[in-house]
Amino acid sequence: MSGASLTIRKLRRDFGAKRVLQDVDLDVARGQFVSLIGASGVGKSTLLKIIAGLDTPTSGSIRIGEPGEKPDVRMMFQEDRLLPWRSILDNVTIGTRSRETEARKLLAAVGLAGREDEFPSVLSGGQKQRAALARALLHKPDLLLLDEPFGALDALTRAAMQQLLSDLLEEAPRTVLLVTHDVEEALLLSDRVIVMRSGRIAHDLVLEGSRPRARGDATLARLKEELVRSLLLDEGQTRNGVQETASSSALEAAE
DSSP 211: S
The half-sphere exposure of 44 on its side-chain side, counting CA atoms within 13 A, is: 23
2, 10, 25, 53: which one binds another protein (CB under 8 A): 53
Rounded to the nearest whole angstrom, what is the least distance from the CB of residue 94 to another protein in the complex? 5
6-14, 37-45, 69-77, 204-212 -> range binding another protein (CB under 8 A): 69-77
- Whether residue 53 contacts residue 105, with contact meaning beta carbons closer than 8 Å, is answered with no
Q: Which amino acid is at 118?
A: E
Cross-strand bridge partners of residue 196: 201
Closest listed residue to residue 37, CA positions, set 234, 216, 174? 234
DSSP 121: G
Rounded to the nearest whole angstrom, what is the least distance from the CB of residue 135 to another protein in the complex? 7
Using CB under 8 A as the binding rule, the residues of this chain from 122 to 181 that contact another protein are 135, 139
- Whether residue 96 contacts residue 138, with contact meaning beta carbons closer than 8 Å, is answered with yes
Look at strands 6-15 and 18-28 and give their pairing. antiparallel
83, 206, 251, 253: which one binds another protein (CB under 8 A): 83
77 part of the interface to another protein, by CB under 8 A: yes
- In terms of CB distance, is 63 or 139 closer to another protein? 139
Q: Which amino acid is at 188?
A: L
- In terms of CB distance, is 103 or 227 closer to another protein? 103
Rounded to the nearest whole angstrom, what is the least distance from the CB of residue 75 to another protein in the complex? 5
Point out which residues bind another protein (CB under 8 A). 52-54, 74-75, 77, 79, 81, 83-86, 94-95, 119, 121, 135, 139
